[in-house]
Structure 1
Amino acid sequence: MTSPSSFRALCRQELHTGPTSGILPGHVQANLLILPQQAAESFEKLCRRNPVACPIISKTVGHPGKLEHHSRLINDESFDIRTDFPKYNIYNRGKLIEQKNNCVNEWTADHVGFLIGCSFSFEDALIQAGLAPKNVIRGTNVSMFVTTKYLDSAGIFHQCPYVVSMRPYKVAVVETVREITSPFEKMHGEPLDWGFDAVGRLGIRDLRKPEYGDPIDIAEDEIPVFWACGVTPQLAISTVGHLIPGVVIGHTPGHMLVLDATQVV
Protein backbone atom coordinates (compact mmCIF):
# COMPACT_ATOMS: atom_id res chain seq x y z
CA MET A 1 0.00 0.00 0.00
CA THR A 2 1.22 3.52 -0.76
CA SER A 3 -0.79 5.67 1.64
CA PRO A 4 -2.96 5.43 4.76
CA SER A 5 -6.09 6.10 2.68
CA SER A 6 -5.28 3.22 0.32
CA PHE A 7 -4.63 0.95 3.30
CA ARG A 8 -7.91 1.95 4.92
CA ALA A 9 -9.62 1.19 1.60
CA LEU A 10 -8.18 -2.34 1.78
CA CYS A 11 -9.62 -2.71 5.28
CA ARG A 12 -12.97 -1.32 4.11
CA GLN A 13 -13.06 -3.88 1.33
CA GLU A 14 -12.01 -6.60 3.82
CA LEU A 15 -8.84 -7.30 1.84
CA HIS A 16 -6.60 -6.65 4.85
CA THR A 17 -7.90 -8.25 8.04
CA GLY A 18 -4.66 -8.86 9.96
CA PRO A 19 -2.47 -6.98 12.47
CA THR A 20 -1.00 -3.58 11.57
CA SER A 21 2.39 -3.56 13.33
CA GLY A 22 4.93 -2.34 10.76
CA ILE A 23 2.26 -1.04 8.36
CA LEU A 24 3.12 2.39 6.86
CA PRO A 25 5.92 3.26 9.31
CA GLY A 26 5.82 6.79 10.64
CA HIS A 27 2.04 7.13 10.59
CA VAL A 28 0.02 7.26 13.80
CA GLN A 29 -2.03 4.18 14.61
CA ALA A 30 -5.06 4.14 16.91
CA ASN A 31 -7.01 1.78 19.13
CA LEU A 32 -10.80 1.91 19.28
CA LEU A 33 -13.67 1.84 21.73
CA ILE A 34 -17.28 2.57 20.73
CA LEU A 35 -19.82 2.89 23.54
CA PRO A 36 -23.46 3.90 24.00
CA GLN A 37 -23.77 7.57 24.96
CA GLN A 38 -24.85 6.58 28.47
CA ALA A 39 -21.42 5.07 29.20
CA ALA A 40 -19.31 7.40 27.03
CA GLU A 41 -19.12 10.18 29.62
CA SER A 42 -17.74 7.83 32.28
CA PHE A 43 -15.27 6.39 29.78
CA GLU A 44 -14.00 9.82 28.77
CA LYS A 45 -13.46 10.65 32.45
CA LEU A 46 -11.58 7.36 32.85
CA CYS A 47 -9.28 8.31 29.99
CA ARG A 48 -8.67 11.80 31.38
CA ARG A 49 -7.69 10.28 34.75
CA ASN A 50 -5.43 7.66 33.11
CA PRO A 51 -3.73 9.38 30.16
CA VAL A 52 -0.79 6.95 29.97
CA ALA A 53 -2.95 3.85 29.51
CA CYS A 54 -5.87 5.53 27.72
CA PRO A 55 -4.66 8.61 25.79
CA ILE A 56 -7.56 9.98 23.75
CA ILE A 57 -6.63 11.03 20.21
CA SER A 58 -10.14 11.89 19.06
CA LYS A 59 -13.81 10.92 19.22
CA THR A 60 -16.67 10.82 16.76
CA VAL A 61 -18.80 13.90 16.23
CA GLY A 62 -22.36 13.05 15.31
CA HIS A 63 -21.75 10.21 12.87
CA PRO A 64 -19.16 7.49 12.21
CA GLY A 65 -17.36 9.32 9.41
CA LYS A 66 -16.49 12.46 11.36
CA LEU A 67 -13.95 12.98 14.15
CA GLU A 68 -12.94 15.85 16.36
CA HIS A 69 -9.92 17.50 14.70
CA HIS A 70 -10.76 15.40 11.65
CA SER A 71 -8.60 17.29 9.13
CA ARG A 72 -5.50 16.91 11.31
CA LEU A 73 -5.94 13.13 11.46
CA ILE A 74 -7.73 11.91 8.33
CA ASN A 75 -7.53 13.39 4.82
CA ASP A 76 -10.15 11.10 3.37
CA GLU A 77 -13.87 11.77 2.85
CA SER A 78 -14.47 8.00 2.64
CA PHE A 79 -13.36 7.44 6.23
CA ASP A 80 -15.76 5.41 8.36
CA ILE A 81 -14.88 4.29 11.89
CA ARG A 82 -17.16 1.25 11.38
CA THR A 83 -15.17 -0.18 8.44
CA ASP A 84 -11.62 1.19 8.41
CA PHE A 85 -10.09 -1.01 11.11
CA PRO A 86 -9.02 -4.48 9.90
CA LYS A 87 -11.07 -6.30 12.55
CA TYR A 88 -13.49 -5.49 15.38
CA ASN A 89 -14.45 -7.07 18.71
CA ILE A 90 -18.15 -6.98 19.53
CA TYR A 91 -19.19 -7.02 23.23
CA ASN A 92 -22.55 -7.37 24.92
CA ARG A 93 -22.79 -6.84 28.69
CA GLY A 94 -19.02 -7.20 28.92
CA LYS A 95 -18.84 -10.50 27.03
CA LEU A 96 -16.95 -10.81 23.73
CA ILE A 97 -19.59 -12.29 21.45
CA GLU A 98 -18.09 -11.93 17.97
CA GLN A 99 -15.18 -10.71 15.83
CA LYS A 100 -16.08 -9.02 12.55
CA ASN A 101 -14.42 -7.10 9.72
CA ASN A 102 -16.87 -4.21 10.16
CA CYS A 103 -19.40 -3.04 12.74
CA VAL A 104 -21.89 -1.33 10.42
CA ASN A 105 -24.85 -3.30 11.76
CA GLU A 106 -23.87 -2.75 15.40
CA TRP A 107 -23.46 1.04 15.21
CA THR A 108 -26.44 3.15 16.26
CA ALA A 109 -27.05 6.89 16.45
CA ASP A 110 -26.54 6.56 20.22
CA HIS A 111 -22.94 5.36 19.89
CA VAL A 112 -19.80 7.43 20.44
CA GLY A 113 -16.45 6.21 19.11
CA PHE A 114 -13.09 7.00 20.74
CA LEU A 115 -9.65 6.69 19.16
CA ILE A 116 -6.97 5.81 21.72
CA GLY A 117 -3.22 6.12 21.18
CA CYS A 118 -1.25 3.00 20.20
CA SER A 119 2.36 2.02 20.84
CA PHE A 120 2.70 0.84 17.22
CA SER A 121 3.04 4.55 16.45
CA PHE A 122 6.54 4.76 17.97
CA GLU A 123 7.88 1.55 16.46
CA ASP A 124 9.23 3.40 13.40
CA ALA A 125 11.29 5.68 15.65
CA LEU A 126 12.80 2.58 17.25
CA ILE A 127 13.46 1.10 13.81
CA GLN A 128 15.21 4.30 12.66
CA ALA A 129 17.47 4.06 15.72
CA GLY A 130 18.41 0.48 14.86
CA LEU A 131 16.22 -0.92 17.64
CA ALA A 132 13.44 -2.58 15.67
CA PRO A 133 11.07 -4.53 17.95
CA LYS A 134 11.06 -8.28 17.39
CA ASN A 135 7.35 -8.30 16.53
CA VAL A 136 8.06 -5.95 13.61
CA ILE A 137 11.08 -7.95 12.42
CA ARG A 138 9.10 -11.19 12.50
CA GLY A 139 5.81 -9.80 11.23
CA THR A 140 3.88 -10.99 14.28
CA ASN A 141 1.50 -9.29 16.68
CA VAL A 142 3.00 -7.76 19.82
CA SER A 143 2.65 -9.66 23.11
CA MET A 144 0.07 -8.13 25.47
CA PHE A 145 -0.50 -9.06 29.12
CA VAL A 146 -3.14 -8.42 31.77
CA THR A 147 -1.63 -6.98 34.97
CA THR A 148 -2.66 -6.45 38.58
CA LYS A 149 -2.03 -2.69 38.24
CA TYR A 150 -5.34 -0.80 38.33
CA LEU A 151 -6.51 2.33 36.56
CA ASP A 152 -7.72 5.24 38.68
CA SER A 153 -11.49 4.81 38.89
CA ALA A 154 -13.99 7.10 37.14
CA GLY A 155 -17.76 6.87 36.93
CA ILE A 156 -18.86 3.29 36.36
CA PHE A 157 -15.28 2.16 35.74
CA HIS A 158 -13.82 0.64 38.90
CA GLN A 159 -11.09 -1.96 39.55
CA CYS A 160 -10.07 -2.03 35.87
CA PRO A 161 -6.58 -3.56 35.31
CA TYR A 162 -3.92 -2.23 32.98
CA VAL A 163 -2.94 -4.20 29.90
CA VAL A 164 0.73 -3.88 28.86
CA SER A 165 2.54 -4.62 25.64
CA MET A 166 6.00 -6.22 25.83
CA ARG A 167 9.04 -5.91 23.59
CA PRO A 168 12.36 -7.57 24.58
CA TYR A 169 15.55 -5.49 24.56
CA LYS A 170 19.11 -5.81 25.78
CA VAL A 171 19.73 -4.10 29.13
CA ALA A 172 22.33 -1.80 27.57
CA VAL A 173 19.78 -0.15 25.25
CA VAL A 174 16.82 0.23 27.62
CA GLU A 175 17.68 3.85 28.47
CA THR A 176 17.87 4.67 24.76
CA VAL A 177 14.51 2.95 24.20
CA ARG A 178 13.05 5.06 27.01
CA GLU A 179 14.42 8.27 25.49
CA ILE A 180 13.06 7.42 22.03
CA THR A 181 9.55 6.52 23.17
CA SER A 182 9.11 9.15 25.89
CA PRO A 183 8.04 12.00 23.53
CA PHE A 184 5.16 9.88 22.18
CA GLU A 185 2.87 10.89 25.03
CA LYS A 186 -0.35 10.27 23.06
CA MET A 187 0.90 6.74 22.24
CA HIS A 188 1.69 5.62 25.83
CA GLY A 189 5.15 7.24 25.95
CA GLU A 190 8.06 5.55 27.70
CA PRO A 191 7.82 2.09 29.29
CA LEU A 192 5.94 1.56 32.55
CA ASP A 193 8.51 -0.95 33.80
CA TRP A 194 11.20 -3.34 32.58
CA GLY A 195 13.22 -6.35 33.69
CA PHE A 196 12.21 -9.75 35.01
CA ASP A 197 11.45 -8.23 38.43
CA ALA A 198 8.78 -6.17 36.68
CA VAL A 199 6.88 -9.36 35.86
CA GLY A 200 6.14 -9.79 39.56
CA ARG A 201 5.51 -6.08 40.17
CA LEU A 202 2.94 -6.04 37.37
CA GLY A 203 1.41 -9.37 38.36
CA ILE A 204 1.91 -10.95 34.93
CA ARG A 205 1.03 -14.65 35.03
CA ASP A 206 3.30 -16.14 32.35
CA LEU A 207 5.56 -14.34 29.83
CA ARG A 208 5.21 -17.30 27.49
CA LYS A 209 1.42 -16.97 27.34
CA PRO A 210 0.21 -13.45 26.55
CA GLU A 211 -3.52 -12.85 27.00
CA TYR A 212 -3.54 -10.98 23.67
CA GLY A 213 -1.29 -11.04 20.60
CA ASP A 214 1.52 -13.49 19.89
CA PRO A 215 4.21 -14.90 22.21
CA ILE A 216 7.76 -13.70 21.61
CA ASP A 217 10.99 -15.27 22.85
CA ILE A 218 13.33 -13.39 25.15
CA ALA A 219 17.01 -14.13 24.51
CA GLU A 220 19.48 -14.74 27.34
CA ASP A 221 20.92 -11.22 26.96
CA GLU A 222 17.49 -9.53 26.83
CA ILE A 223 14.89 -8.41 29.34
CA PRO A 224 11.18 -7.73 28.88
CA VAL A 225 10.20 -4.07 28.50
CA PHE A 226 6.56 -3.15 29.18
CA TRP A 227 4.44 -0.28 27.88
CA ALA A 228 0.87 0.67 28.75
CA CYS A 229 -1.43 -0.72 26.06
CA GLY A 230 -4.57 0.56 24.33
CA VAL A 231 -6.29 -2.79 24.85
CA THR A 232 -6.79 -1.63 28.45
CA PRO A 233 -10.18 -0.01 27.66
CA GLN A 234 -11.51 -3.30 26.27
CA LEU A 235 -10.50 -5.12 29.44
CA ALA A 236 -12.34 -2.38 31.32
CA ILE A 237 -15.44 -3.24 29.28
CA SER A 238 -15.05 -6.89 30.23
CA THR A 239 -14.73 -5.81 33.87
CA VAL A 240 -17.76 -3.49 34.15
CA GLY A 241 -19.66 -4.32 30.97
CA HIS A 242 -22.61 -5.69 32.91
CA LEU A 243 -23.33 -2.05 33.81
CA ILE A 244 -23.47 -0.95 30.16
CA PRO A 245 -26.70 -1.57 28.26
CA GLY A 246 -26.31 -2.26 24.56
CA VAL A 247 -23.42 -3.22 22.33
CA VAL A 248 -19.82 -2.03 22.85
CA ILE A 249 -17.29 -2.29 20.02
CA GLY A 250 -13.50 -2.32 20.08
CA HIS A 251 -10.69 -3.12 17.66
CA THR A 252 -9.36 -6.66 17.71
CA PRO A 253 -6.03 -6.31 19.60
CA GLY A 254 -3.19 -5.53 17.19
CA HIS A 255 -5.58 -4.56 14.37
CA MET A 256 -5.37 -0.76 14.38
CA LEU A 257 -6.61 2.23 12.42
CA VAL A 258 -3.80 3.85 10.41
CA LEU A 259 -4.16 7.63 10.33
CA ASP A 260 -2.83 10.13 7.80
CA ALA A 261 -1.23 12.05 10.67
CA THR A 262 2.45 11.43 11.44
CA GLN A 263 2.21 12.95 14.89
CA VAL A 264 -0.50 13.87 17.38
CA VAL A 265 0.06 16.59 19.97
Structure 2
Amino acid sequence: MNSSNPSPARTVRLEARDGRLTGPTAGLASGFVQVNLVILPEAQANGFLRFCQANPKPCPLIAVSEPGQRSCEVLAKELDIARDVPAYCVYRHGELAATPVDVSDLWQDDLVTFALGCSFSFEHALVQGGVAVRHIDEGRNVPMFKTSIPLQTAGGFSGQTVVSMRPFLATEAIRAIQITTRYPQAHGAPVHFGDPAQIGISDLMKPDYGDPVSVHADETPVFWACGVTPQQVLMDAGVPFAITHSPGHMLVTDIPESQVALL
Protein backbone atom coordinates (compact mmCIF):
# COMPACT_ATOMS: atom_id res chain seq x y z
CA MET A 1 0.00 0.00 0.00
CA ASN A 2 1.39 3.36 -1.03
CA SER A 3 1.94 5.54 2.04
CA SER A 4 0.43 8.49 0.13
CA ASN A 5 -2.82 6.52 -0.07
CA PRO A 6 -2.81 4.60 3.20
CA SER A 7 -5.10 1.71 4.08
CA PRO A 8 -7.83 2.27 6.70
CA ALA A 9 -5.61 0.50 9.24
CA ARG A 10 -2.60 2.71 8.56
CA THR A 11 -4.84 5.79 8.63
CA VAL A 12 -5.89 4.90 12.18
CA ARG A 13 -2.25 4.41 13.20
CA LEU A 14 -1.18 7.72 11.67
CA GLU A 15 -4.01 9.55 13.41
CA ALA A 16 -2.90 8.02 16.71
CA ARG A 17 0.74 8.92 15.95
CA ASP A 18 -0.20 12.54 15.23
CA GLY A 19 -2.40 12.84 18.32
CA ARG A 20 -5.59 13.23 16.30
CA LEU A 21 -6.99 9.96 17.65
CA THR A 22 -6.97 9.44 21.41
CA GLY A 23 -10.24 7.53 21.85
CA PRO A 24 -11.20 3.83 21.65
CA THR A 25 -10.67 1.95 18.39
CA ALA A 26 -13.87 -0.18 18.40
CA GLY A 27 -15.47 -0.05 14.96
CA LEU A 28 -12.44 1.56 13.27
CA ALA A 29 -10.67 0.08 10.21
CA SER A 30 -13.23 -2.68 9.80
CA GLY A 31 -11.74 -5.81 8.31
CA PHE A 32 -8.33 -5.44 9.98
CA VAL A 33 -7.11 -7.23 13.10
CA GLN A 34 -6.71 -5.15 16.25
CA VAL A 35 -4.33 -6.25 19.00
CA ASN A 36 -3.67 -5.71 22.68
CA LEU A 37 -0.10 -4.79 23.61
CA VAL A 38 2.07 -5.85 26.53
CA ILE A 39 5.59 -4.41 26.54
CA LEU A 40 8.05 -5.77 29.11
CA PRO A 41 11.80 -5.78 29.75
CA GLU A 42 13.45 -8.95 28.44
CA ALA A 43 14.03 -10.11 32.03
CA GLN A 44 10.26 -10.63 32.49
CA ALA A 45 9.41 -11.46 28.86
CA ASN A 46 10.28 -15.16 29.04
CA GLY A 47 7.97 -15.74 31.97
CA PHE A 48 5.18 -13.75 30.34
CA LEU A 49 5.53 -15.80 27.15
CA ARG A 50 4.99 -19.00 29.18
CA PHE A 51 1.98 -17.39 30.83
CA CYS A 52 0.43 -16.57 27.44
CA GLN A 53 1.05 -20.11 26.22
CA ALA A 54 -0.69 -21.47 29.32
CA ASN A 55 -3.66 -19.08 28.93
CA PRO A 56 -4.44 -18.82 25.20
CA LYS A 57 -8.07 -17.77 25.71
CA PRO A 58 -7.37 -14.36 27.32
CA CYS A 59 -3.85 -14.09 25.83
CA PRO A 60 -3.90 -15.32 22.21
CA LEU A 61 -0.42 -14.58 20.86
CA ILE A 62 -0.30 -12.91 17.45
CA ALA A 63 3.34 -11.75 17.45
CA VAL A 64 6.38 -11.17 19.68
CA SER A 65 9.05 -8.60 18.79
CA GLU A 66 12.79 -8.78 19.17
CA PRO A 67 14.15 -6.83 22.19
CA GLY A 68 14.26 -3.08 21.61
CA GLN A 69 12.36 -3.10 18.33
CA ARG A 70 9.61 -0.53 17.85
CA SER A 71 8.60 -2.14 14.56
CA CYS A 72 7.13 -5.55 13.77
CA GLU A 73 6.68 -6.53 10.12
CA VAL A 74 4.27 -9.33 11.07
CA LEU A 75 1.82 -6.70 12.31
CA ALA A 76 2.30 -3.81 9.90
CA LYS A 77 4.80 -1.99 7.73
CA GLU A 78 6.16 1.38 8.85
CA LEU A 79 4.91 0.64 12.36
CA ASP A 80 6.03 2.57 15.43
CA ILE A 81 4.84 0.65 18.49
CA ALA A 82 5.71 3.58 20.76
CA ARG A 83 3.46 6.08 18.93
CA ASP A 84 0.79 4.25 16.90
CA VAL A 85 -1.64 3.45 19.74
CA PRO A 86 -4.23 6.09 20.77
CA ALA A 87 -3.39 5.75 24.49
CA TYR A 88 -1.01 3.70 26.63
CA CYS A 89 -0.76 2.65 30.27
CA VAL A 90 2.59 2.72 32.08
CA TYR A 91 2.98 0.53 35.16
CA ARG A 92 5.68 0.79 37.79
CA HIS A 93 5.93 -1.81 40.57
CA GLY A 94 2.37 -2.95 39.96
CA GLU A 95 0.82 0.52 40.02
CA LEU A 96 -0.59 2.51 37.11
CA ALA A 97 1.86 5.42 36.87
CA ALA A 98 0.76 7.26 33.71
CA THR A 99 -1.55 7.11 30.68
CA PRO A 100 0.42 8.85 27.88
CA VAL A 101 -0.41 8.99 24.18
CA ASP A 102 3.27 8.49 23.25
CA VAL A 103 5.87 6.32 25.01
CA SER A 104 8.90 7.16 22.84
CA ASP A 105 10.71 8.80 25.75
CA LEU A 106 10.23 5.66 27.88
CA TRP A 107 11.53 3.21 25.30
CA GLN A 108 14.41 0.93 26.30
CA ASP A 109 16.71 -1.33 24.30
CA ASP A 110 15.54 -4.42 26.20
CA LEU A 111 11.78 -3.98 25.73
CA VAL A 112 9.89 -6.89 24.16
CA THR A 113 6.43 -6.31 22.66
CA PHE A 114 3.70 -8.95 22.82
CA ALA A 115 0.75 -8.49 20.45
CA LEU A 116 -2.31 -10.36 21.69
CA GLY A 117 -5.55 -10.93 19.81
CA CYS A 118 -8.48 -8.62 20.58
CA SER A 119 -12.25 -9.12 20.47
CA PHE A 120 -12.61 -5.91 18.45
CA SER A 121 -11.37 -8.03 15.54
CA PHE A 122 -14.51 -10.18 15.49
CA GLU A 123 -16.92 -7.27 15.94
CA HIS A 124 -16.80 -6.47 12.22
CA ALA A 125 -17.86 -10.07 11.56
CA LEU A 126 -20.71 -9.71 14.06
CA VAL A 127 -21.99 -6.55 12.38
CA GLN A 128 -21.67 -8.17 8.94
CA GLY A 129 -23.64 -11.12 10.29
CA GLY A 130 -26.49 -8.82 11.29
CA VAL A 131 -25.62 -8.76 15.02
CA ALA A 132 -25.49 -5.23 16.41
CA VAL A 133 -22.74 -4.42 18.93
CA ARG A 134 -24.08 -2.24 21.74
CA HIS A 135 -20.98 -0.24 22.71
CA ILE A 136 -20.34 0.66 19.05
CA ASP A 137 -23.94 1.76 18.60
CA GLU A 138 -23.77 3.86 21.77
CA GLY A 139 -20.34 5.32 20.98
CA ARG A 140 -18.77 3.92 24.15
CA ASN A 141 -15.78 1.86 25.15
CA VAL A 142 -16.59 -1.83 25.66
CA PRO A 143 -17.41 -2.68 29.31
CA MET A 144 -14.82 -4.96 30.94
CA PHE A 145 -15.03 -6.76 34.27
CA LYS A 146 -12.77 -8.59 36.67
CA THR A 147 -14.09 -12.11 37.35
CA SER A 148 -13.57 -15.10 39.62
CA ILE A 149 -12.46 -17.29 36.68
CA PRO A 150 -8.94 -18.49 37.60
CA LEU A 151 -5.99 -18.35 35.23
CA GLN A 152 -3.32 -21.02 34.84
CA THR A 153 -0.27 -19.98 36.85
CA ALA A 154 2.88 -19.88 34.69
CA GLY A 155 6.11 -17.91 34.37
CA GLY A 156 5.62 -16.23 37.74
CA PHE A 157 2.23 -14.79 36.75
CA SER A 158 -1.24 -15.69 38.04
CA GLY A 159 -4.65 -14.18 38.71
CA GLN A 160 -8.24 -14.12 37.42
CA THR A 161 -9.65 -13.55 33.96
CA VAL A 162 -10.95 -10.15 32.85
CA VAL A 163 -13.89 -10.32 30.44
CA SER A 164 -15.60 -8.00 27.98
CA MET A 165 -19.41 -7.98 27.85
CA ARG A 166 -21.91 -7.53 25.01
CA PRO A 167 -25.68 -7.90 25.54
CA PHE A 168 -27.89 -9.69 23.00
CA LEU A 169 -31.34 -11.10 22.50
CA ALA A 170 -31.29 -14.90 22.77
CA THR A 171 -31.28 -15.49 19.00
CA GLU A 172 -28.53 -12.89 18.54
CA ALA A 173 -26.47 -14.45 21.34
CA ILE A 174 -26.54 -17.83 19.58
CA ARG A 175 -25.42 -16.20 16.33
CA ALA A 176 -22.68 -14.26 18.16
CA ILE A 177 -21.34 -17.48 19.68
CA GLN A 178 -21.32 -19.15 16.26
CA ILE A 179 -19.46 -16.27 14.65
CA THR A 180 -16.87 -15.64 17.36
CA THR A 181 -15.98 -19.32 17.66
CA ARG A 182 -14.32 -18.88 14.26
CA TYR A 183 -11.85 -16.38 15.75
CA PRO A 184 -9.69 -18.23 18.33
CA GLN A 185 -6.90 -15.65 17.87
CA ALA A 186 -9.38 -12.94 18.92
CA HIS A 187 -10.48 -14.78 22.12
CA GLY A 188 -12.87 -17.09 20.25
CA ALA A 189 -16.12 -18.27 21.82
CA PRO A 190 -17.46 -16.67 25.01
CA VAL A 191 -16.37 -17.95 28.41
CA HIS A 192 -19.79 -17.31 29.98
CA PHE A 193 -23.29 -16.03 29.27
CA GLY A 194 -26.21 -15.27 31.53
CA ASP A 195 -26.02 -14.56 35.26
CA PRO A 196 -22.93 -12.38 35.85
CA ALA A 197 -22.86 -13.29 39.55
CA GLN A 198 -21.77 -16.81 38.61
CA ILE A 199 -18.40 -15.40 37.53
CA GLY A 200 -18.07 -12.87 40.32
CA ILE A 201 -19.59 -9.77 38.68
CA SER A 202 -21.97 -7.88 40.96
CA ASP A 203 -23.15 -4.97 38.79
CA LEU A 204 -23.11 -4.69 34.99
CA MET A 205 -23.49 -0.93 35.29
CA LYS A 206 -20.14 -0.67 37.12
CA PRO A 207 -17.45 -2.12 34.84
CA ASP A 208 -13.86 -2.24 36.13
CA TYR A 209 -12.65 -0.93 32.76
CA GLY A 210 -14.43 0.80 29.88
CA ASP A 211 -17.96 2.21 29.97
CA PRO A 212 -21.37 0.84 30.98
CA VAL A 213 -23.81 0.12 28.16
CA SER A 214 -27.56 -0.41 28.04
CA VAL A 215 -28.71 -3.93 28.92
CA HIS A 216 -32.42 -4.46 28.30
CA ALA A 217 -34.64 -6.79 30.34
CA ASP A 218 -35.04 -9.26 27.46
CA GLU A 219 -31.31 -9.45 26.73
CA THR A 220 -28.62 -11.87 27.84
CA PRO A 221 -25.14 -10.58 28.75
CA VAL A 222 -22.42 -12.54 26.93
CA PHE A 223 -18.85 -12.51 28.21
CA TRP A 224 -15.61 -13.01 26.28
CA ALA A 225 -12.09 -13.39 27.68
CA CYS A 226 -10.41 -9.99 27.41
CA GLY A 227 -6.92 -8.78 26.57
CA VAL A 228 -6.99 -6.51 29.61
CA THR A 229 -6.38 -9.68 31.64
CA PRO A 230 -2.57 -9.30 31.31
CA GLN A 231 -2.73 -5.76 32.66
CA GLN A 232 -4.41 -6.98 35.83
CA VAL A 233 -1.91 -9.85 36.05
CA LEU A 234 1.05 -7.47 35.69
CA MET A 235 -0.33 -5.30 38.49
CA ASP A 236 -0.90 -8.32 40.71
CA ALA A 237 2.69 -9.48 40.04
CA GLY A 238 4.10 -6.03 40.86
CA VAL A 239 6.42 -5.97 37.83
CA PRO A 240 8.97 -3.13 38.05
CA PHE A 241 8.09 -1.68 34.64
CA ALA A 242 5.59 -2.40 31.88
CA ILE A 243 3.74 -0.60 29.10
CA THR A 244 0.40 -1.69 27.66
CA HIS A 245 -2.34 -0.22 25.51
CA SER A 246 -5.03 1.64 27.45
CA PRO A 247 -8.14 -0.57 27.66
CA GLY A 248 -10.16 -0.23 24.45
CA HIS A 249 -7.37 1.71 22.68
CA MET A 250 -5.83 -0.94 20.44
CA LEU A 251 -3.10 -1.17 17.87
CA VAL A 252 -4.74 -1.61 14.47
CA THR A 253 -2.66 -3.94 12.30
CA ASP A 254 -2.46 -4.57 8.56
CA ILE A 255 -3.51 -8.21 9.08
CA PRO A 256 -6.86 -8.93 7.37
CA GLU A 257 -9.47 -10.43 9.69
CA SER A 258 -9.95 -13.23 7.17
CA GLN A 259 -6.40 -14.35 7.92
CA VAL A 260 -7.26 -15.21 11.54
CA ALA A 261 -10.71 -16.68 10.90
CA LEU A 262 -11.36 -20.42 10.80
CA LEU A 263 -13.42 -21.02 7.66
Say yes or no: TM over 0.5.
yes
The one of 31, 40, 47 aligned to 2:52: 47
Unpaired runs of 5+ residues, structure 2, are 1-5
Give per-residue Cα distances to partners, 1:121-172, cap 9 Å, x unaligned.
00011101111211111221100000011110002112x1110000000112
Quick one: distance in 2 between partners of 1:116 and 1:51?
Answer: 9
Amino acid aligned to 1:257: L
CA distance in 2, matches of 1:89, 1:114: 14
Structure 1 position 222, deviation (Å): 0.3
Residue matched to 1:121? 121
Q: Equivalents in 2 of 1:26, 1:88: separation in Å?
A: 23
Q: Which residue of 2 aligns with 1:178?
A: 177
Contact 2:68 2:110 in 1 (8 A): no
Q: What is residue 252 of structure 1 aligned with on the other side? A: 246
Residue 27 of structure 1 pairs with residue 37 of structure 2: no
- Report the equivalent of 1:233: 230
Using the size of structure 1 for normalisation, the TM-score is: 0.92
The answer for the alignment partner of 1:203 in structure 2 is 200
Structure 2 counterpart of 1:53, one-letter code: P
Alignment map for 1:19-98 (pairs within 5 Å) = 19-67=24-72, 70-71=73-74, 73-74=75-76, 76-77=77-78, 79-98=79-98
TM-score, normalised to structure 2's length? Answer: 0.93
After superposing on structure 2, the runs of 4+ consecutive aligned residues of structure 1 that deviate more than 6 Å are: none
Instruction: State the number of aligned residues.
Output: 254
Aligned to 2:220, which of 223, 238, 244?
223
**Structural RMSD (CA):** 1.3
Amino acid at match of 1:225: V
Query: Which secondary structure does the structure 1 equivalent of 2:232 belong to?
Result: helix
Structure 1, unaligned runs of 5 or more = none
Residue 261 of structure 1: SS of its match in structure 2? strand
Q: Which amino acid aligns with 2:163?
A: V
Could you give the per-residue CA deviations for residues 175-219 of structure 1, whole angstroms, max 9, x where no partner exists?
Answer: 2111100010000001111012xx122111311100000001211
Q: How far apart are the structure 2 equivalents of 1:147 and 1:236?
A: 12
Once the two structures are overlaid, the 10-residue window that deviates more, 82-91 or 58-67, is 58-67
Equivalent residue letter for 1:13:
D
